[in-house]
Amino acid sequence: MRLARPPRERVLASPPATSPMAFNRRRNGCAGEQKGLDMQQQISVITLGISDLTRSRRFYAEGFGWTPVFENEEIAFYQMNGFMLGTWQTEALEADMARGLVRPGAFSLAHNVSGKDGVASLMDRLVTAGGRVLRPADAPPHGGFRGYVADPDDHAWEIAWNPAWTIDGEGHVTFGL
């Protein structure tokens, strides 16, 4: 998404002068020195609970065009921009986490594209690959352009164009206003 500056916002850290890598290095360095903690602003995996691996894989492979780096009968991993996306049988995830889970969960994932026209065309591809439109693409109050598609397991994907955020050739995304 893109944010307009509201009256009482606080930008707490300047956008990186050079790169997201430099930003994370700077943050981790400072924090680690101050408190002696593992302060890396890092998420290693996003794991989505799924019920049918073949159906899920079709959505990600034919919709987004992504290739797993690993899969077996209960899980597929996709190497993303600095972290891993996992799609795992929900029962296994529930057993691992030691609690039951429900849908649709209070979260969304976003994939940003490089141009406004790319939003609708990617949403169309995702629907062809088994997705379901939650909200057709339009311009949100905070700027840019976006729509939502649910994957076959009802997980929400925001497909967005946000000219204020940069995405480099490696897919690394940096905050901007």
Stretch 60-99 residues interacting with a copy of itself (CB under 8 A)? 64-73, 75, 77-86, 90, 93, 96-99
**Pairing mode, strands 132-138 and 145-150:** antiparallel
Residues 164, 1: Cα–Cα separation, whole Å? 9
For a copy of itself, what does the binding mask look like between residues 26 and 55, x meaning CB under 8 A? -xx--x---x-xxxxxxxxxxxxx------
Rounded to a whole number of angstroms, the minimum distance from the CB of residue 145 to a copy of itself is: 13
132 part of the interface to a copy of itself, by CB under 8 A: no
- Using the rule CB under 8 A, which residue among 52, 128, 139, 177 binds a copy of itself? 177
Q: Which of 3, 58, 127, 143 binds a copy of itself (CB under 8 A)?
A: 3
| 175 contributes a contact to a copy of itself by CB under 8 A | yes
CB 9 within 8 A of CB 170: no
CB of 104 to a copy of itself, least distance (A): 6
**Strand 173-174 to 166-167 pairing:** antiparallel
CA distance 167 to 112: 8
For the beta carbon of residue 28, count every other beta carbon within 10 angstroms.
Answer: 16
* 140 binds a copy of itself, rule: CB under 8 A: yes
The CA-to-CA distance between both ends of the chain, in Å, stands at: 10
- What burial class does residue 116 get, using C-beta atoms within 10 Å of its C-beta: 0-12 exposed, 13-18 middle, 19+ buried? middle
Question: CB of 56: closest distance to a copy of itself in angstroms?
Answer: 12
- Residues 111-130 binding a copy of itself (CB under 8 A) are 111-114, 118, 122, 125
